Amino acid sequence: MSEQLFQEASTAFQEWCKRNSVPVLSLDPTSTEKDDLKSIVQSIGNARFVAISEGFHNCKEMMSLHHRIIRHLVEECGFNIVLSESGFPESLYINDYIRGKSIPEEIDVWKNGLNKMYSAWREGQALIEYLKKNNKDYGNSLEYYGVDIGGFYQDWVTPFNIIFKYIKTVDEDYCKDLESKLLPYLNQMSTNARKNYAENFDLHQKALLSAILDEAVSYFGSKADEYVSRSSKEDYEKIRQSLTSMQLAENYYRNYDTVSKKYVGLNGREIAMAQNCLWVLNKRSDAKVVWIDHVIHTKTKSQLQDGVWGNFTPAGQLIKQALGKDYYGIGMVYGSGQFWNKWQRPAERFIDKIPEWDEKRKQKENRMNDPAPVIYGLEFQARSLCPQFGETEAIRFLVGTQSLRNDNQVHLIDFEDESNLVTKHVFSHTPGEIWNIASNPSDKNILATCYSKIIDGKTKRFAAMWRIPPLDETAPPVYELTPGDNNGKCVSLQHVCELDAGHGDVKKVMWNPSSDNDKLLTISERHIDLWQTSNTGADHVDTITLEGKAQLQYSVGRFNPHHGGSQIATGIDCHIKGYDLRSMSSSFSIENAHSQLVRDLDMNPNKQYYLASCSDDCKVKFWDIRNTKECLMTRSDHSHWVWSIRYNNFHDQLILTSSSDSRVILSNIASLSSEPFGHLDDEDEEEEKPREPIPDRLISTFEEHEDSVYAVEWSSVDPWIFASLSYDGRLVINRVPRVEKYKILL
């Protein structure tokens, strides 16, 4: 966007704000003034989940305003559950308190049940007392929960005492076992929990704590029916959420990198908040929820945060992805004014001014004129991604997970461009970890996977065809972050057949992209097997055997979309070799194409002899397979292994690459494309003045990932949308910048 357009848009927005602003008439929660609150109610509409942001904590005026808004929503709009930035397990004391239940004598409900940034202030306690009085007067219809990780930064003993108390009543022997395993950790995490975790435990101890909590959550889930029969479903679910909150608290602590002083990977604290919020919304059919939390958590878009956060995916974004229009956020905008700096340290706090916009920050905001990327977090690690090729209307991607401890899954992600939201269907893939996934180009419901499983103590890799079961498009949405239906179970993929040619571990499976797309290839270490597929199975047709040194193996393969899909390119260690499937013989060879392992290949969709490759040598290379002595171009934009490379299916000058440097790079390689001079129409061809070729350049670097990005794929429906997947289970859906899009089209 040009500076002039930006200024015009900024001025228009300011004028809109002036016309539509509504002054706050009172901060008194008991005020009879209603006119200013009516506009909020009107804006909320039918949303069942309202997030009220805090600009900063420990602010009496903000707590009073929140109290006033919540009163109005409870009394006039039927909202019945209040959530806050406080530990979930501890908040069970507060929920009991407002519902008139007895609290153990040793428990100080304010100190043990609520974050001190609320409980230490009269204004914070006033909201709790209002909820308690309302319940007493009107029949206990209101509930209150914290949604944050258990223990927050300080005390792990209080939340685990709540968990142990319940488990002791349903499974005393297991309670003793779990207590004994956790005792060495709780002894050091009763105060300053996060600090003591970071400083007092080595990597082995942290890994062991993670394993203990993972096992506890899994075991607790497996005992659901037994524990519910000995207590109640509600009590069981509250402790399940509490235990999961502690598991994610450990994840949150562990993902703090002491070298960079930043959090890395998906933030366990945000996942815990999102899961707890969605559990609360699902627990009762009449639920209408108000959530109070800092604006960093309630916002609905990922962005680069200052300080320790880095690239940050907030809970609000995860919830918004699940709820869509049922989520309504009341945000915070900082324009000017003052605030308490170092509010956590009363002896050091001082009144500071909100900083002015500097040029660097202004440039970041200008880049936000493009729609924000959409980030979808998977529960497990993942490395396999593909578009759903057979789908011709919706923007869909398939993602396969890698989990050693749990049943793996295939996520079908549906992206709505206009609303910038995703919906999902999750299917169980029980055989094992998914290493590669491929979608049938003509039948959107058929896919193939390469997967691993352990046999006789050894890991073996196989391939199979699957059918996606029919989707119930009329079913109402289930608001949950974790996959599965209301009973926590995924629908299974329907097994079609195994693809076992008896040639050992299968590394890759791929469909013929041409009209002859009932042909499928599997690639193992030294064999390429051709299959004839149908809706009911696959027949093995022929085999190519790798000749030469025994230590050489196939690493990757890719169909050439030209010539009816009769040719493929393969990576063999640091070499590239092509085959003609009609004769099952070699068609070209590039010796020592890279200095290290070839990770991926792609064929230009518009120029039949052009090929791109990437490698562990951090390089991307372009080739003409008619002349393989020298590459056409080498690029070194990445700083680590390059795992994936893809030509745009329509505009072949657009190249995507992803790498272990956690980045996705979009480049314009016009000189080797079918449009080296840009888009030409009839009028351009009549011009006498020759056009200059477009320079090759890096368009944009996308840095939403924090782990190795193993896959990047263009949408098969929209040429301007792509998805990338990193090992930590983060799927990012992004777009070609508008400026670049219009340069190509206009």
Q: How high is the pLDDT of residue 484?
A: 40
Give the chain's count of helices (H) and strands (E): 19, 40
Position 264 confidence tier, pLDDT thresholds 50, 70, 90:
low
CATH number at 382-471+490-545: 2.130.10.10
pLDDT exceeds cutoff 80 at 518: yes
pLDDT exceeds cutoff 60 at 336: no
Give CA–CA dist 266/705, Å, rounded: 9
Q: Give pLDDT tens digits for 49-104.
A: 999 998 777 778 888 999 999 999 999 999 999 999 999 999 999 999 999 999 98
Give CA–CA dist 401/643, Å, rounded: 17
Q: Please say whether the structural domain 359-378+563-678+692-745 has been given the CATH code 3.40.50.720.
A: no
Give me the chain's average pLDDT, please: 87
CATH code 3.40.50 region(s) in the chain:
36-148+262-354
pLDDT exceeds cutoff 60 at 360: no
Classify burial at 676, counting beta carbons within 10 Å of its beta carbon; exposed 0-12, middle 13-18, buried 19 or more.
middle
| Percentage with pLDDT > 90 across the chain | 62
Mapping DSSP onto H, E and C, the string for 5-32 reads: HHHHHHHHHHHHHHHHCCCCCCCCCCCC
Q: How high is the pLDDT of residue 308?
A: 61
Return the closest-CA partner of residue 193 out of 116, 274, 240, 254.
254
What SS3 state is found at 436?
A: strand
Q: Give pLDDT tens digits for 683-694.
A: 444 444 556 778
Give CA–CA dist 721/182, Å, rounded: 47
Q: How many CB atoms lie within 10 A of CB 217?
A: 16
Mean pLDDT of 665-682: 79
Mean pLDDT of 339-353: 66
Q: List, in sequence order, every residue forming a beta bridge with 284; answer none if it has no partner.
A: none
Is pLDDT larger for residue 471 or for residue 544?
544
Instruction: List the single range of 430-434, 474-478, 550-554 with lowest mean pLDDT.
Output: 474-478
**What is this structure's pTM?**
0.58
Mean pLDDT of 596-624: 95
Give CA–CA dist 411/10, Å, rounded: 39
Q: Please say whether the structural domain 36-148+262-354 has been given the CATH code 3.40.50.
A: yes
Q: How high is the pLDDT of residue 479?
A: 44
Q: Give pLDDT tens digits for 424-470.
A: 999 999 999 999 999 999 899 999 999 998 888 888 999 999 999 98
Q: Give pLDDT tens digits for 214-227.
A: 999 999 999 999 99
CATH code 2.130.10.10 region(s) in the chain:
359-378+563-678+692-745, 382-471+490-545
Q: Give pLDDT tens digits for 695-713.
A: 899 999 998 898 899 999 9
Q: How many CB atoms lie within 10 A of CB 388?
A: 24
| Percentage with pLDDT > 70 across the chain | 87
Is pLDDT larger for residue 480 or for residue 664?
664
Q: How far lies 490's CA from each of 373, 409, 469, in Å? A: 27, 8, 11
Q: Give pLDDT tens digits for 370-424.
A: 677 898 988 899 999 999 998 988 999 999 999 887 789 999 999 998 888 888 9
Mean pLDDT of 615-633: 95
Q: Give pLDDT tens digits for 117-143.
A: 888 888 999 999 999 999 999 988 999
